[in-house]
Structure 1
Amino acid sequence: MKIGAVVLAAGSGSRMKSSVKKQYMEIGGKPLIYYTLKAFEKGPQEVTVLVTSPGDEEYCQKEIVEKYGLSSDIVICAGGAERYDSVYAGLMALPKDTDIVMIHDGARPFVNRQIMDRTVNAAAEYTAAVCGMPVKDTIKMADNEGFAASTPDRKKLWMVQTPQTFSYPLIKSLYEKLEQEKEVLIAHGLNITDDAMLVETFSDKKVKLVEGSYDNIKITTPEDIALAESLIDKYDMI
């Protein structure tokens, strides 16, 4: 199999409440996105596409890839206004003969090779796979007035993470469909929040859930920075 990876780092990180974009904030003296790319250096893919905010391509090449001596197999391209625009740009930047693609949030630096392999193997068998972990807390569904409406069975609930991994021809075709029809779909209230949702909505394929890690956190708020600092030594990523 020819495996590719798309790492998304085009967001603004508004919930971080910082003038520095989240992906460039320092953890242990290095930018957050460095750790994610470093983790993918140990991955099974042949090519990694880093999707940045438009205008950040040269900065990422010089100040991230070259400065820290990261792999020369990293291709940098500009993303779009929404996450799905950035995923589409990343998919289009991969070699056309790619068989399997991992799509990963750049703000999840603590992914590891074992998680990647599990999603790749599951995608090879089932066409679509995402990693995640069973929820630890009881979940309540709320009604429109903010009252508890129901309590779903916790044993069936997962926290979904990335990488989300797919047959490249399948996910590419679905994103092409989305790109062509997104204005109509958005007008009808469809909000695509992850890649698996696209498969669930526009194909007859089931998405296989595989084990991720409770450490595979997404750095989103200032509180997450302190948690990430505590995990760096554990993952030997300095």
Structure 2
Amino acid sequence: MKKAAILVAGGRGTRMGGPVSKQYLPIGGKPVLMHTLEVFHEADPSMELILVLPSDDFDFWENLCRNFSFNLSHQVVAGGNSRFQSVRNGLLALSHDVDLVAIHDGVRPFVKKEVIQESFAQAQATGSGVAVVSLKDSLRMLTDDGKSFSKERQDYRLVQTPQTFQVEKIKKAFQSEEIPQFTDDATVYEYQGWQVTLISGNPENIKITTPEDLEYADYLISKRK
């Protein structure tokens, strides 16, 4: 079955606090997005790669690719006003013969290729394969009146990406009107009444959002050397 990946990096990353969006900041000597594209290519070199960026950033990204001699084949697609709209734009750009698609945060460069491969295997078998990890800390639920109650952490999972699906199903799901309850691609899929299949993610697959995340990313890169 033909595979594709949509790497979503349509935001401005204002929490990083600098003039350059987080997806373009360097770790290990090159921008975050280049690491993310490379790990998906390593998972399956025949995979179609679609990178969703703000349309205003196209020239900037092209210059980065030139400056870093980054020649990995990928298609750049304009993002929308929300993540939902950016993913939908990416889905519309897929080749007609793609059967399975992974949707991934562009600023999660440390996903293991084995997780990517397992997500595709589960999506082929069940319709979806969504990476999650267990909680390490205790969990409490807050109520409107200021009280809190302990919850069993083994009953919960932290959701990561990739979130991988059969293309026919996820395209149908994204024909829905966007609602606030759509917090990720799995909730869009689930809205159709379909059960989501979970797979084990890898804990270091962090979403780079803050300066502290960037420091940790540099540490993770250094461990590879």
The gaps in structure 2 that reach 5 residues or longer are none
Tell me, yes or no, if structure 1 residue 225 matches structure 2 residue 214.
yes
Match of 1:49 in 2: 50
CA contact (8 A) 1:38 1:70 kept: no
- Residues 147 and 14 of structure 1: CA distance in aligned 2, closer, same or farther (over 3 Å): farther
Corresponding residue for 2:87? Answer: 87
Identity of aligned residues (%): 37
Corresponding residue number in structure 1 for 2:188: 198
Matches within 5 A, 1:68-217: 68-72=69-73, 74-148=74-148, 150-177=149-176, 181-182=177-178, 185=179, 190-201=180-191, 203-217=192-206
Equivalent pairs, count: 224
Give the root-mean-square deviation of aligned CA atoms: 1.6
Rate the CA distance shift 1:194–1:65 in 2: closer, same or farther, 3 A: farther
Matched residues in 2 for 1:205 and 1:217: separation? 27
Gaps of 5+ in 1: none
CA contact (8 A) 2:102 2:162 kept: yes
Whole-angstrom distance in 1 between the partners of 2:136 and 2:66: 37
CA distance in 1, matches of 2:196, 2:103: 14
| TM-score, length of structure 2 as denominator length | 0.93
Secondary structure (helix, strand or coil) at the match of 1:140 reads strand
1:91-125, Cα deviation, whole Å (9 max, x unpaired): 11111221100000011010121010111111111
**In 2, Cα distance between equivalents of 1:41 and 1:29:** 19
Deviation at 1:67, TM superposition (A): 3.1
1:31 CA displacement: 1.4
Determine the C-alpha separation between the residues in 1 that align with 2:129 and 2:141.
26
